[in-house]
Chains A and B, each alone.
Chain A
Amino acid sequence: GAGVSQSPRYKVAKRGQDVALRCDPISGHVSLFWYQQALGQGPEFLTYFQNEAQLDKSGLPSDRFFAERPEGSVSTLKIQRTQQEDSAVYLCASSLPGAASEQYFGPGTRLTVT
């Protein structure tokens, strides 16, 4: 079936605006992850869902970042009052349950805050 999809692919926001980034995981994948990738760096973990439960949000950089997955499928990452340091690529990944499962990544959303 289709892979992980993310929208929008590109987002430009003025500083102080709120943004919402969407992730559609692979059908049947109960685990969903968000990562942030700054320019020239590897991705860094933000948060993890199993079905609709947010099991780990230790990587969210501030309380301006909020993620939800209300029906255990599509997930939204929301950033309130965006700052320039929020400019990055936001990657979503999904996987089957199980510790050894492989994570499959979407194309990412490139957020630029001006």
Chain B
Amino acid sequence: KQEVTQIPAALSVPEGENLVLNCSFTDSAIYNLQWFRQDPGKGLTSLLLIQSSQREQTSGRLNASLDKSSGRSTLYIAASQPGDSATYLCAVKEYGNKLVFGAGTILRVKS
């Protein structure tokens, strides 16, 4: 059974710092990996999608990498801002199309 783990569970950083969120998964038979952002009381906003054949994706200050063979992904956030404060979720898409999520990393960026 696929298991997705996110480390750390919570992170508090001062504004302007670069930071890395980690995601690991136990079964490398995946179609893709997605990073989402969730604000309190809101749904999920997709940040980056990396197909299984890709190594990384970038969008603005965000960069996500995927190492399928080792079952790891990282989300790099450059020059963090208070508006980046949210919960970040990692999910892998299994054969069968369902997403399996980690429990998330709660990020707080202090101004």
Contact = CB atoms under 8 A, between A and B. Distances in A.
A100 to B, nearest CB: 6
Given A99-B31, A100-B31, A45 B46 contact: no
12 contacts: A31-B97, A33-B97, A33-B99, A41-B104, A42-B102, A42-B104, A43-B44, A45-B98, A48-B96, A91-B44, A100-B51, A108-B43
Interface of A: 31, 33, 35, 40-45, 48, 55-56, 59, 91, 93, 99-100, 102-108, 110
A103 B32 contact: no
Nearest to A9: B41
B39 to A, nearest CB: 11
A40 B95 contact: no
B101 A40 contact: no
Contacts, number: 64
Secondary structure at the B interface, as helix, strand, loop or mixed, is: strand
Q: Which of B95, B98, B100 has the most CB of A within 10 A?
A: B98
A102 B49 contact: yes
B63 interface: no
A102 B45 CA distance: 12
Contacts of A105: 36, 43-46
Nearest to B98: A45
Chain B, interface residues (CB within 8 Å), range:
20 to 34
Interface of B: 4, 31-32, 34, 36, 41-46, 49, 51, 89, 91, 93, 95-104
A107 B42 contact: yes
A40 B103 contact: yes
Given A100-B51, A105-B43, A107-B43, A43 B98 contact: no
Contacts of B89: 42-43
A103 B41 CA distance: 19
A81 B14 CA distance: 47
Nearest to B89: A42
B103 A41 contact: yes
A33 B97 CA distance: 9
A84 B33 CA distance: 33
